[in-house]
Structure 1
Amino acid sequence: MPKPLQVIVVGGSLGGLFAAIVMKRLGHTVRIFERNPTPLLHNQGAGVVAGGDTQAFFNNFDATKRPIAVTSKLRQYLDREGRQIHEEGLAQKMTSWDLLYYLLRANFDGVKSGYCKVPEPIEGEGKGIYEYGHLVKDVREAGDKVEVEYEGREGNIEKTLADLVIGADGPSSTLRKILLPDVQRKYAGYVAWRGTVPEQEASLAAQKAFVETFTFYHAPRTQILSYVIPGENGALEPGKRLINWVWYCNYPEDSSEFKELMTDCEGKHHHITLPIGKMRKEILQGQREYAKKVLPPQFADIVCGTKQPFIQAITDVISPKNSFFGGKLLLIGDALAGFRPHTAASTSQAAFDAQKLYEMMSGQISLRQWEEETMEYARYMQRSGVNMGQRSQFGNHPLAQMQDMARS
């Protein structure tokens, strides 16, 4: 392929940045089209398990060389009274969405932040441009190129040509809807309440249960988990970190409770995510009271201590293919397959796909091999997530505490 290729990456979150950095390092000109109207994406304060593929990507492509993770030294399960009932000596790395995002932006387009120093340009790398407020409207094959039609920041409709288009625009991918309109993202019947508490503000009992420990509690139709993640500006020092929690609760799709849950303080209904700061006071207070009734005291402490949690509806989606127009348009990460969070593999999938993209574009593997390996990863992890979620929320988890839960 000639250099530099003109590459458009649709989606400017972690997955898009992974792919964009790979292509930039190979010497190509890369434009990210991000639909968000602001230059920086909003941080929801979400924790991320830094799996092997994520760690490998940062080892190979992060020129800041900044440490990214807190180590969780063991996994444990609590009973309703907060006592440990099971322990596994399994160490894992935990990080945060915001730390990864700002490190990637520093590498891609030199965004300055308190998270890291912007690295010096690397010899031979291409140009990276982050185009916010760009909403893709259509794509079509145009000879040996792809034509992208989009709405710009001023509301004008424009067209541009690219040698390669990479779709990394999340589980509700616009590109996937254009190419495969019959592939639908479907609600799985439960949501994840998510939030963080500063480590130093948690009770001593909560700190003992969660600091550097991956901790779970299971009961019929619910589970909650917690681990420590980097704090402000990616701080890794003890006392400056955050305790991150995720609480899965069932809400039938056609229930009034689910509709009320996803309606914000301004009366707007949200289909997938209820953002930070948008929750109605009565909903938050009701969940805090529920937490005190049904959760171990350490978990109830951090749920009630979270000032502004957010809600993510759990969904399923997977594309039957990830290559279009003879390999000139590719889907990666969540745009290819949206995993349930139980897998802790969403970020890892994007990192894996991007590293395989590097191998393909540098001639180490073929397009067909890239398609096969990334599709195999997507199918396996998507299926695993469904199985884990169904067992936990609708079946019988082996470590679930058998008690009567007040909600469906």
Structure 2
Amino acid sequence: MSSTSKSLDIAIIGGSLGGLFAATPLLRMPQKHRVTILERSGTPLLHDQGAGVVAGGNVQKWVEQFDVFGKEAKVTSKARTYLNREGETVEKEEFTQWMTSWDLLYHLGRANFDGQLSEHVASQWAQMKDSPEGERVRDAWGRAKYEYGRSVESLKVVNDKVEVTWRDTREGSPNKGEQGTLIVDFVVCADGPSSGMRKMLLRDHAAQRKYAGYVAFRGTVLETELETAAQDVFVEKFTFFHTQGTQILGYAIPGANGSVEPGKRLVNWVWYWNFPEDSEEFKEVLTDSKGNRHRYTLPTGGYIGEEVWRRQKQRAEEVLPPQFAELVKKTKKPFVQAITDVTAPEQGAPVGRLLEGKAALLGDALAGFRPHTAASTSQAAFDALMLERAFAGEITWSQYEDNVLQYANTWQRKGVMLGTCSQFEKISTHSTPLSMMARD
């Protein structure tokens, strides 16, 4: 698809960060495109993932260009520090980074895209709603739709348009299970690391999501619930501990409703632990408190099994520095993610010219990174920025493909390397831990 001065109908499959990052720039273009997000979840708002996000340069650029509310979206980390088992700082590097949360980015994305005005932006909107900028934003919202409970089943070119067929998945809906269609000019596939659209359109074996041999236990604690010694380690610092076969990290992020006020922030932690795929313990870890087995993620909300969590808290006492052990033990609603790989397509794959030039892949649907890279959200922002440039004619679709595939392949390989070093290689007494960390 070449750049055009026409107003287009665009569908975006996937309503999480990747879809929202792509949708808002397209909505704001001079052509006044009409953009519909189709999200398979059956609820109007996606549930808080409970996760911190290291916001690299691409996320910062997206927020600076497309967030009209001017919301303070970060807690600044001024240094990376590395602890020993006793909790002493053994290495420190001055390094400034943005720390934010999935919850804040999602609500900023919804507010900017379709005017879903949560408490995250209420005060900012009150100040700007009667301004010319407020009028422009309302005009864009009139061309935006966020349709939930839409599980896309097929894409087909019909009369130079794309026919998107979906099934209604809304709980309690009288139409649940029924099919519907949407006719559009272009489709953006941003449906995550288990992307059905990538499998449908590329049909490549690399699209299979593969378990990497370990999981991430995750959680948050209100900063004021921590002892002063722990606050000193985590607030405005990105702190790590690594011993044989395990790694944990922690940093402060915005709290409820995106608050960055001292005392209201959260300390986010991620703890990697090895479990062979065929082990009984791995099955237990991904089985919730009601006995339901999950494939990749055990969500927030107190779903982790009581015995699994008791065992992991005991391990925290035995293995971790006291500040990290305190952080783990004070977490009320931990969750678990199985670490997986989704290999990027090879350079040259037509990921921007699928479906006769009427569809593109981006974000996690293109490649799934291990979280050591801290680059998954940055990939979504980078790809969305490239997509806007392709629609504007600033770059060709071939250049879009080169750019997003180079980013995907580079960071996907780097994630495998970092994960292997973290979890499976023997620790060298001569290694410098911080030199191994990813930088975006």
Does residue 251 (structure 1) correspond to residue 275 (structure 2)? The answer is yes
| Amino acid of the structure 2 residue aligned with 1:10 | I
- CA shift digits 1:57-103 (9 cap, x unpaired): 01111111111111101001000010111111111110011111111
Cross-structure match for 1:139: 155
Give the number of equivalent residue pairs: 400
Percent identity between the aligned chains?
A: 53
Distance in 2, matches of 1:261 and 1:70, equals 31
Matches within 5 A, 1:5-404: 5-26=8-29, 27-117=32-122, 118=125, 120-122=134-136, 125=140, 127-152=143-168, 153=170, 154=175, 155-181=177-203, 182=205, 183-276=207-300, 277-320=302-345, 321=349, 322-323=351-352, 324-397=354-427, 398=431
1:213 partner letter: K
Matched to 2:25, the amino acid is: V
Aligned-partner Cα distance in 2 for 1:145–1:112: 33
- What TM-score, normalized to structure 1? 0.95
Give the SS at the match of 1:337: coil
Q: In structure 2, give the amino acid aligned to 1:171.
A: P
Rounded Cα–Cα distance in structure 2 between residues aligned with 1:31 and 1:12: 10
Structure 2 residue matching 1:73: 3-state secondary structure: strand
Shift of 1:148: 1.1
Tell me, in whole angstroms, the C-alpha distance in 1 between the residues paired with 2:329 and 2:135: 45
Q: Report the Cα distance in structure 2 between the residues aligned to 1:105 and 1:2, rounded to whole angstroms.
A: 26
Shift of 1:327: 2.8
Q: Given that residues 201 and 355 in structure 2 are in contact (C-alpha distance below 8 angstroms), is that contact kept between their aligned partners in structure 1?
A: no
User: Could you say what secondary structure the match of 1:166 adopts?
Assistant: strand
Q: 1:207 to 1:3 in 2, by over 3 A?
A: same
Moved more, 234-243 or 390-399: 390-399
TM-score, normalization: structure 2?
0.88
Amino acid of the structure 1 residue aligned with 2:6? K
After TM superposition, the structure 1 stretch with the greater mean CA deviation from structure 2, 341-350 or 173-182, is: 173-182
Contact 1:8 1:33 in 2 (8 A): yes
CA distance in structure 2 between the partners assigned to 1:121 and 1:37 by the alignment: 31
Report the AA paired with residue 158 of structure 1: G
Deviation at residue 318 of structure 1 after TM alignment: 2.7
Aligned partners of 1:23, 1:318: CA distance in 2, in Å? 27
Q: Which residue of 1 aligns with 2:438?
A: none
Q: In the TM superposition, what is the alpha-carbon distance from 1:55 to its structure 2 partner?
A: 0.4
Indicate if the aligned counterparts of 1:77 and 1:399 stay in contact, CA closer than 8 A: no
Question: Is the deviation greater in 120-129 or in 98-107?
Answer: 120-129
SS in 2 for 1:90: strand
**Deviation (angstroms), 1:363:** 1.2
Cα 1:18–1:92, aligned 2, differ >3 Å: closer, same or farther?
Answer: same
Deviations along 1:306-329, one digit per CA (max 9) or x if unpaired, are 011000110000342323123311
Measure, in 2, the Cα distance between the counterparts of 1:74 and 1:172.
Answer: 34
User: Which blocks of at least 5 consecutive residues in structure 1 are unaligned?
Assistant: 401-408
Cα distance in 1 between the residues matched to 2:227 and 2:181: 55
1:394 is aligned with what amino acid? F
Query: 1:234 and 1:11 mapped to 2: Cα distance?
Result: 23
Return the letter of the residue paired with 1:122.
R
How far the C-alpha of 1:121 sits from its partner, in A, is 4.0
SS in 2 for 1:178: helix
Counterpart residue identity of residue 59, structure 1: E
Q: Residue deviations 1:253-307, cap 9 Å, x none?
A: 1111101111111111111000112111111111111100000000000000001
Distance verdict in 2 for CA 1:108–1:256, change over 3 Å: same
Quickly say closer, same or farther: Cα 1:121–1:106, change in 2 above 3 A: farther
Q: Give CA deviations for 1:30-69 in whole Å, capped at 9, x if unaligned.
A: 1000011000000021000011000000111111111111
> Helix, strand or coil for the counterpart of 1:65?
coil
Instruction: Read off the aligned partner of 1:346 and give its amino acid letter.
Output: S
1:177 Cα deviation (Å)? 2.3
Structure 2 unmatched ranges of 5 or more: 434-440
Indicate the larger mover: 176-185 or 268-277: 176-185
Q: Distance between the aligned counterparts of 2:407 and 2:258, measured in 1?
A: 29
Q: C-alpha deviations, 1:223-273, integer Å up to 9, x for none? A: 000000001111111111000000000001111110111111111111100
